[in-house]
Amino acid sequence: MEPHPADKKLFENLSGSGKAIGVLTSGGDAEGMNAAVRAVVRMGIYVEAKVYFVYEGYQGMVDGGDNIVEVSWESVSSILQVGGTVIGSARCKAFRTREGRLQAAYNLVKRGITNLCVIGGDGSLTGANLFREEWSGLLEELAESGKIDEEAVKKYAYLNIVGMVGSIDNDFCGTDMTIGTDSALHRIIEVVDAIMTTAQSHQRTFVLEVMGRHCGYLALVSALACGADWVLIPEYPPEEGWEDKMCVKLSENRARKKRLNIIIVAEGAIDSHNKAITSEQVKDLVVRCLGFDTRVTILGHVQRGGTPSAFDRILASRMGVEAVLALLEATPDTPACVVSLSGNQAVRLPLMECVQMTQEVQKAMDEARFKEAVQLRGRSFENNLKTYKLLSHRKQDAELPKSNFNVAVLNVGAPAAGMNAAVRSAVRVGITEGHKMFAINDGFEGFAKGQIKTISWGDVGGWTGQGGSILGTKRTLPAKYLEKIADQMRTYNINALMVIGGFEAYLGLLELSAAREKYDEFCVPMVMVPATVSNNVPGSDFSIGADTALNTITDTCDRIKQSASGTKRRVFIIETMGGYCGYLANMGGLAAGADAAYIFEEKFDIRELQANVEHLTEKMKTSIQRGLVLRNENCNENYTTDFIYQLYSEEGKGVFDCRKNVLGHMQQGGAPSPFDRNFGTKISAKAIQWISKKLVETYRKGKVFANTDDTVCLLGMRRRNLVFQPVAELKGETDFVHRIAKEQWWLKLRPLMKILAKYKTSYDVSDSGQLEHVAMHRPKEAETGAI
């Protein structure tokens, strides 16, 4: 496809012709770095720039020679699913000296490289910024010593730098998620889930040490994701006397028939006097005070290894493309910037502002200003900490407020991984707020039959890591049971409803809302939290369960691609779920490096199918002799998976052969990913707090009476914030026939997948990140898509 006339101007402005981009990875490796390298190379070549690998980080830049090599499109094939960094990373003492930087400048100028894309941590990025500031001085010095001529000094007068943060610790201020963090959480959660089964068998206590020398993000989020009993992090040291409090809590949990205890310790954990707390100390404490059988597991470098998660691949691919755009738009006056993510928005931030703020956190911790350290870490970190404290420490009954309100929770629609984490969170926050919590089994059908029971704090213990829906869920809508549901609401005196589910949950709330005229019982606050693998609920960019499904698709595609490594020239056609929503097919295509993804939202015809076949035929002539095509299950009623398979088989005869796979219900199963556990946990906590507020507002003359539109809401993630939206207002945004939102944010990422698969397409740069400044205190209600 050629660029649209309206976009052509943008493409001409952003031509990279005559420019050379160097890409390097530096500092500690992180899963997803290769996806970023691949995106930089391919986007660079796409805009007609020359792209160079700088092997072994700054060491390679100083050494020059074979360490700086021009690369082609095929150079980055098959690296998307590989962990670590294929271009190597090394700590470099020489680059810290001016002589080293002088040599590096010479090696770059020799090749005409004046654009650098640095993927690393804050140390690597600070070094890059210093290099940029010294650049003109270094060139003059080289000219004086006769190594380069005056012409070169003028021609290569400015060095542009764009950074991407690759760090599993997520310790860089200004960005919600750094490349590698989500994958590291996957490794930790896999280990915790495995340890939980053995701990349960022997009634053991496990002390897990995770990485994070200066940042407790991994420890905090994994504690939130597995429901750990205690967590120790550097930003929030425990209060004096924490040892006794922790032991009391562990023994209380055992008394409640809990067969295991999990304590998570960040390697940089400290007490309020800045003294280190080690995992061995914690173990000795538990053994000494309680006599529990206790084991220590240090995760170490396991967290850095393995294949990157779907989230990290998509994040790194988006950041890589954004980095090239930032380099092409850079002028001598623009500061060196970092491309990062805020919510699901790409943003550019001045590099040194981020570095300074990151250093401020460390300074605050050194000076024991811990409250400030937590705030400086950003709103996502603060919210994680608040939620963890809310859910892990059960107050005594006497301490709890008594609201005298009854709140019911139910699951509706198909099961989605993370639903149980959402129910656990809702129940525990509800109890903390003083409500009596009820669980409804089997959706609206179970509601009508009276399958309702009270649910306690302990009942939901260990639910976060469970897949599917423990409460049971059905697709049935409430319309045909209105009379019976109203009776049950009256019988159990239910004052508020929380529904966790997909499109059926949304339709169900619309039906209950419409029935308010006839039944007073439905005049209560109702809130919905989106949970569906299809991610097709209007009013929310993300749904609980979609990330787990995406990881399943990505893992399967990796295996399928690997199966083709022995047999050359093979194309796989893979069918994904999603109803009419192409989210899984499109994002799965981006994460797995697919050649095409057919979706309902973007109409296609036989000419497009033919063009894809021709594109794959050309690809088979290169060294990459395999293809991957994803198809959403309902993208076209006539171009079925079988039809596309037969068409490709016929047209590709003699050039490639075909195989097809229908992924089916494996996309709905499995243990929830860290993202889904935490998104479910945090969004549910917020929903229950909204219910509490509405209950107080609508309580009049001894009863709850809520009949306005703003008392039936959907809580969704919108760009950078979690927002409550009345379901009545979302009607206008909904395509009810196809059960999708009329506008979907991820469609903007369609061209990205095509560019990275070597198609000519138009890429709307107007939506690329604008340079912003790092804000320290953001509005209280703002909540991010980061986990």
pLDDT digits (tens, 9 = 90+) for 256-309: 778 889 999 999 999 999 999 999 999 999 999 999 999 999 999 889 889 999
Q: So what's the pLDDT on residue 733?
A: 96
Amino acid making up residue 462: G
Which pair of structure tokens corresponds to residue 358?
């990151």
Q: Check: CB of residue 528 under 8 Å from CB of residue 495.
A: no
Q: Decide: helix, strand or coil at residue 390.
A: helix
For the stretch 150-158, contacts whose Cβ atoms lie closer than 8 Å and that sit 24 or more positions apart, written own/partner, are 152/109, 156/109, 156/112, 156/114, 157/332, 158/114, 158/332
CA distance 749 to 587: 8
- Domain over 394-544+672-742 is classified CATH 3.40.50.450: yes
CA distance 636 to 587: 18
Residues 6 or more apart whose Cβ sits within 8 Å of residue 608:
none
Which pair of structure tokens corresponds to residue 663?
């992924």
Q: Check: CB of residue 372 under 8 Å from CB of residue 173.
A: no
pLDDT value at 402 more than 90: no
Q: Check: CB of residue 388 under 8 Å from CB of residue 649.
A: no
Angle (nearest 5°) at CA 783 between 778 and 787: 120
* Of 63, 138, 65, nearest in space to 98 by CA: 138
pLDDT value at 595 more than 80: yes
pLDDT value at 79 more than 60: yes
For the stretch 110-114, contacts whose Cβ atoms lie closer than 8 Å and that sit 24 or more positions apart, written own/partner, are 110/64, 111/20, 111/22, 111/52, 111/68, 111/70, 112/20, 112/50, 112/156, 113/20, 113/21, 113/22, 113/52, 113/68, 114/19, 114/20, 114/156, 114/158, 114/159, 114/160
Across the range 66-73, mean pLDDT stands at 96
Backbone φ/ψ region at 27: left (φ over 0), alpha (ψ -120 to 50), beta: left
* Of 571, 601, 573, 570, nearest in space to 586 by CA: 601
CA distance 159 to 227: 48
Catalytic residue annotation: 169
Q: Taking the alpha carbons of 415, 420, 425, 426 in that order, is the dihedral positive or negative?
A: positive
The annotated binding site for ATP is made up of: 28, 91-92, 121-124
CA distance 431 to 8: 58
Residue 237 has phi, psi (to 5 degrees) of: -65, 150
Alpha helices (H) in 393-470, listed in sequence order: 419-432, 443-449
DSSP string, 250-314: HHHHHHTT---EEEEEETT-B-TTS-B--HHHHHHHHHHHH---EEEEE-GGGGG-SPPPHHHHH
Q: Decide: helix, strand or coil at residue 529.
A: strand
pLDDT value at 771 more than 80: no
Q: Which residues lie across from 511 on neighbouring strands? A: none
CA distance 607 to 53: 37
pLDDT band at 1, cuts 50/70/90? Answer: very low
Q: Across the chain, what does the average pLDDT equal?
A: 91
The annotated binding site for substrate is made up of: 167-169, 204, 211-213, 267, 295, 301-304
Amino acid making up residue 304: R
Q: Check: CB of residue 601 under 8 Å from CB of residue 747.
A: yes
Burial class (CB in 10 A: 0-12, 13-18, 19+), 517: exposed
The annotated binding site for Mg(2+) is made up of: 122
Q: Decide: helix, strand or coil at residue 583.
A: helix
The annotated binding site is made up of: 28, 91-92, 121-124, 167-169, 204, 211-213, 267, 295, 301-304, 475, 532-536, 570, 577-579, 633, 659, 665-668, 739
Q: How far is CA 655 from CA 215, 613, 614, 629, in A?
A: 52, 10, 10, 16
Comparing 765 with 172, the larger pLDDT belongs to: 172
Residues 6 or more apart whose Cβ sits within 8 Å of residue 552:
663, 666, 667, 669, 670
Q: So what's the pLDDT on residue 106?
A: 97
pLDDT value at 319 more than 90: yes
Q: Check: CB of residue 314 under 8 Å from CB of residue 588.
A: no
pLDDT band at 58, cuts 50/70/90? Answer: very high
Alpha helices (H) in 575-659, listed in sequence order: 583-592, 606-619, 641-651
Q: How far is CA 758 from CA 43, 73, 599, 741, 775, in A?
A: 9, 9, 19, 29, 37
CA distance 177 to 32: 12
Q: So what's the pLDDT on residue 767?
A: 57
- pTM of the prediction? 0.93
Amino acid making up residue 731: K
Which pair of structure tokens corresponds to residue 124?
């690597």
Q: Check: CB of residue 596 under 8 Å from CB of residue 630.
A: yes
pLDDT value at 775 more than 80: no
CATH architecture of 546-668: 3-Layer(aba) Sandwich (3.40)
Kindly state the DSSP code that residue 120 receives in the 8-state scheme.
E
Query: For residue 46, what is the enclosing H or E element?
Result: helix 33-46
Q: Check: CB of residue 43 under 8 Å from CB of residue 19.
A: no
pLDDT value at 638 more than 70: yes
Do 181-303 and 546-668 have matching folds?
yes
* Of 311, 318, 754, 194, nearest in space to 555 by CA: 311
At the topology level, CATH places domain 181-303 in Rossmann fold (3.40.50)
Q: So what's the pLDDT on residue 707?
A: 93
At the topology level, CATH places domain 15-178+308-363 in Rossmann fold (3.40.50)
Angle (nearest 5°) at CA 152 between 150 and 155: 115
* Of 571, 594, 576, 550, nearest in space to 632 by CA: 576
In this predicted model, what pLDDT tens digit does every residue of 163-219 receive, in sequence order?
Answer: 999 999 999 988 888 999 999 999 999 999 998 888 778 888 999 999 998 999 999
pLDDT value at 643 more than 50: yes
Q: So what's the pLDDT on residue 200?
A: 78
pLDDT value at 45 more than 70: yes
Across the range 470-482, mean pLDDT stands at 96
Angle (nearest 5°) at CA 409 between 405 and 412: 150
Q: So what's the pLDDT on residue 765?
A: 58
Amino acid making up residue 222: S
Q: Where are the domains of the chain?
A: 15-178+308-363, 181-303, 394-544+672-742, 546-668
In this predicted model, what pLDDT tens digit does every residue of 542-576 receive, in sequence order?
Answer: 999 999 999 999 999 999 988 877 677 899 999 99
Q: Decide: helix, strand or coil at residue 78.
A: coil
The annotated binding site for beta-D-fructose 2,6-bisphosphate is made up of: 475, 532-536, 570, 577-579, 633, 659, 665-668, 739
Q: Decide: helix, strand or coil at residue 581.
A: coil
CA distance 765 to 21: 19
Q: Check: CB of residue 600 under 8 Å from CB of residue 582.
A: yes
Q: So what's the pLDDT on residue 776?
A: 53
CA distance 597 to 585: 6
